[in-house]
Every structure is written in structure tokens, then in C-alpha cells.
Structure 1
Amino acid sequence: MKLRKAGAAVATVLTLSLAVTACGGGKDDKGSGSGKITIGIKFDQPGVGLKTPDGKYTGFDVDVATYVAKELGYDAKDIVWKQAPSAERENLIKNGDVKFVVASYSITDKRKAVVDFAGPYLLAHQDLLIRADDNSITKAEDLNNKKLCSVTGSTSAQNVKEKLAPKTTPQEYGGYSECLTGLENKAVDAVTTDDSILAGYAAQKEHQGKFKLAGLKLSDERYGIGIKKGDKDLQSKINKALEKMKSDGSWDKFVKANFGPANYKHEPAPQIAETS
């Protein structure tokens, strides 16, 4: 009799435990009940996605990701930030290492064959960063016979040479910080990549007043939030969060906070287009 009672008690405890686990696990992207969400961002792009020396995370993408996470039910303390280098973004999503990626992630047909996107949440353009006192570069063709810096692995400078200024001399540096040092020291005449990234660097305290964006729209880059292929439910929820972010003024606040010091002439918040 005692054994039967003990068995019933154990069964009751197990049933209650399973019920609690089922209720608590729904909030966690890994299903472990920890209530955490893992989001991929850039760690090395000031103004966009940056891990600071003191371990904090700042930038427009970070603000957007934090806002979206909150709309999905996660507080800032629930977020686990994971570095998402450009070449690894699709793998991180496919392997389930992150719930979604917000990392200056341009929506392209090639990428959409592998992952889905929500958004877009920002329309950027390839542009040039030049010295603040340089009035000689007002169009891409002005780069002929000048040195144009981009980072190793980027095609930005080569695209300019092939399509717009065949006599420009591309210079590859290890990172954009080195490009800016070269620009300040007049070792190069301009730096090229997305205007949002350039604005983020120019807005850094140590760079304010030294550089300016040329304001050229050399390409259209629609930044989206990368998610696992076929996850329409998450896509819909993120799109809803992005719409709210625009309508309640948060989008404008994030742009001003991260890009304002660079006088970044940004496009208006884009219309949500990734819905299927």
C-alpha cells in the first residue's frame, strides 16, 4: 500500500514537472527553458553593431534587435549576443545557432535561396567617405587617378573601378579603422562601403568633424533580419515589431542616436516587403 502511494506521488510530481517545463520552454529559442534568445550581430561596426571594450553592445542594429526581441517577449537581459561575420550569417541561421540575424544584412536573391528575411528595416547605399575639407570628389568619376580604400574581402572598391571610375586605384586594408587612418593621413583619398557603416565610423567621437559622406547612391542595400528558411510565423511577428518600431518613433530615435553626429542623410524607413 505504501509503495502504491509512493508511486502515485512520484507520478504526480513528474506530471507537474512536465507541465511546468512545457509552459516555461515556449519562450526559449533553444527549448531549454532558460528564457534566453540568441541573436547574431556584427561586433566590429561602430554605429551599426559593436562590442565595446567594456563588453557592451551598441549600434543601430543592436537597438533594432533589442526592440524586436522585446516585442517577442524577451527583455534586454534575456538576449545572448553572438558574433555574425558576413561569411557566417547563413550558417548561423541554418544550424540554429541564432534565432535571427541583424547584421547589416542586405537582402539578395542569392541569400534568399538559403534563408528567409523579415523587413527591410533600413535602406542603405554604397557611398564614399572623404575628408571634411575635400571638395574634389562629388561624383564617382572623380575617383579616377585617386586611391580608394576598402577592406580585404570586400568587392566595393573593385565594383567602383569596374563600373564607374576605371582609373581609380583600389587599396585593401585589414579593417575600416585602418582605412580611416589612411584617409586622415592622406594615404588614400576615399573609403567605400555602405553609407550606414561609413556614417557609424564618422560618428565616433575621435572622428567627428574629420570626415564626411559624399552622398552618392552607388547601390541599394536593403537591410533585413535573417531567419530560418520557412519560418513564416517568426517572419510575421518580426515584421509586426518593425512596423510598430516605425510608427511609435523608435526607428527615428535609433537613427539619430547612432548616425546623427555624421550628418547621415538617411532614407525614410522602408516599407516591409519580405512577407512570403
Structure 2
Amino acid sequence: MRARRSTKIIGSVAALAMAAALTACSGDSDTIRIGVKYDQPGLGLDEGGTPVGFDVDVATYIAEHLGYTEDQIEWSEAASANRESFLQQGTVDMILATYSITDERREVVDFAGPYYVAQQDILTAADDTDIESPEDLDGKVLCSASGSRSANNIVDDMGIGAELREAGNYSECLELLSNGTVAAVTTDNTILAGFAAQNPGNYRMTNNPFGEEQYGVGLPKGSTERCEEINEAITQMWDDGSAAQFLEDAFGETDFAYEESTPELAPCA
């Protein structure tokens, strides 16, 4: 009798565990976890626990297209250095964090998009008129955030002899620029425009853009179907005028000349 009773108890416990697991899985499907930046004005900035900015607006639009309401989104802070690991470890379902599409990154994650094509530029102190182009950075200290290839584009790809200084994020780069530790900060013009607008009179963009940065929606490897759904959302977002409105909301009060043309979407792998 005890053996039969024990078996029933074990069976009941197993059934309860299975039910709990099914409930947990069901709960997971009721939310979507999205990684965005929390420290980039105009793109992804934490304001009282809720991120705001262009990337956040695009992410919300895509989530709604996928069937999620705004209150079903779980936001996570995605720094440049942890974007791949977040997707590989299942910390988030997708990332929109000025995440440029590159062949190197495609080896470990999938991308939908691009949803926007930015260009690279340079930010200096407001009173520094010596730096107008990448060539002027020769022999100077240049800052870029960990996990970003912006500074490498200048030093490695363009062969300019700048001294690289890596910071944890672009907020730290701005601190180094303010105290004179670095001569300039380089990254996408969208990012630099947001910081310049947040600190009027302190910094100057050269407004001499170069290169191209295709912002993609980062996805776990093997997300072909989800990629296609997101590309549909991106096309619709540009067609119905939402993308242009998001750009105006983010950068309309700055002198940043943002692109308003629909980007050419890459095929989903």
C-alpha cells in the first residue's frame, strides 16, 4: 500500500510540475523581451524606468505588428558589448540598439531589416575646430564604446593613425571628451546628434558623415520566420509614415539631417 501510495504522490507531483511548466511557457508567450540602449538620447534613453527614443518607437511598432501590446513588452538594457550574448543566451527575444548589420555578427546572430541606415561621424568639444574629417584624427586620441567597430573603421579600415581609447559606453566617452582625455568620439551620426542635442553648446558634430551603418533587429540564430514577420512590419512602418514620425519625434529639434528614405531590406537567411 505504501508503495502504491508513494507512486500516486510522485505521479501527482510530476503532474503538478508539468502543469507549472506549461503555465510558465504560456506566460512567456504573453510577453516579448526586447533589448534597447538606455544611455543614448534620441535613440534609447531610460527615463524613470521606461526607455524612450527612435529605437524604442520602432521596437514597439514591430512588437504590435507581431501581436503584442505595449504593456506586454519587457525592456532590457542592451549595451554594445553584450548584444550577441543576450541573444545567444535567450536573455531577450530581439534587440534594437543601434545594432549595425555586419557579416561578422551574422555568423552568430540573425538580423531583420535594416530599419534605418545611418552614417558615421565625429564629435568634438565645441571650441575644437581642428578636427573636420577622419584624416584630422591622425595622432589624436579617439574614443569609442566597447563592442562597437566605429573607431576601428577609422584606424583599421581607413588606416588613420589615431590612438584608440575604449570606454564601456558612449556616456563614458562623453565624460572623457569633456575632461580632455580624448580629442574626439566617433560613432553613428544618430547617436552623436542625440548627445549633442542633450548638451547644447558643449559639443560639435563635424557633420561630415562617412561610411554606412545599417541598423538591424538582432535575433537569435535560426529566426527566419520571425525575421520575415519583422521585415513586413518595417515595410509597413515606412509606408504608413510612422518611421518618418518617429524620426521627427527623436531628432526634429536638432540640426541633424536624418534620412527619410525607406531602406532596402536584406533577405532573411
TMscore range, shorter length: 0.7 to 0.9
The Cα shift of 1:255 comes to 1.4
82-91 vs 239-248, greater mean Cα deviation: 82-91
1:150 and 1:172 in contact (8 A); partners too: yes
Aligned twin of 1:8: none
CA distance 1:212–1:249, shift in 2 (3 Å)? farther
| Cα distance in 2, alignment partners of residues 112 and 164 from structure 1 | 23
Tell whether 2:116 aligns with 1:149.
no
TM-score by length of 1: 0.77
| Cα distance in 2, alignment partners of residues 257 and 41 from structure 1 | 17
CA distance 1:74–1:117, shift in 2 (3 Å)? same
What number of residue pairs does the alignment pair up?
248
Instruction: Give the secondary structure class of the aligned counterpart of 1:272.
Output: coil
235-244 vs 164-173, greater mean Cα deviation: 164-173
Aligned twin of 2:244: 252
Match of 1:87 among 59, 72, 81: 81
The Cα shift of 1:34 comes to 6.3
112-121 vs 144-153, greater mean Cα deviation: 144-153
1:142 and 1:165 in contact (8 A); partners too: no
User: Structure 1, unaligned stretches of length 5 or more?
Assistant: 1-17
The Cα shift of 1:83 comes to 2.2
Aligned twin of 2:216: 224
- 4+ residue segments displaced more than 6 Å: none
Tell whether 2:55 aligns with 1:57.
no
Instruction: Give the secondary structure class of the aligned counterpart of 1:81.
Output: strand
1:149 and 1:173 in contact (8 A); partners too: yes
| Cα distance in 1, alignment partners of residues 29 and 147 from structure 2 | 38
Aligned twin of 1:271: 264
User: Structure 2, unaligned stretches of length 5 or more?
Assistant: 1-18
Tell whether 2:102 aligns with 1:108.
yes
Counterparts of residues 1-276 of structure 1 (less than 5 Å): 30-32=25-27, 35-52=30-47, 54-151=48-145, 154-164=148-158, 166-204=160-198, 207-267=199-259, 268-276=261-269
CA distance 1:132–1:252, shift in 2 (3 Å)? farther
| Cα distance in 2, alignment partners of residues 249 and 179 from structure 1 | 34
Equivalent residue letter for 2:40: Q
What is the CA deviation profile of residues 57-105 of structure 1, one whole-angstrom value per residue up to 9, with x for unaligned ones?
1121111100111111111111101222333323332333322111111
| Cα distance in 2, alignment partners of residues 203 and 216 from structure 1 | 17
Identity percentage over the alignment?
45
Aligned twin of 2:15: none
Instruction: Give the secondary structure class of the aligned counterpart of 1:32.
Output: helix
1:39 and 1:101 in contact (8 A); partners too: yes
**RMSD of aligned alpha carbons:** 2.8
Instruction: Give the secondary structure class of the aligned counterpart of 2:246.
Output: helix
Equivalent residue letter for 2:262: A
Instruction: Give the secondary structure class of the aligned counterpart of 1:216.
Output: coil
| Cα distance in 1, alignment partners of residues 60 and 187 from structure 2 | 25
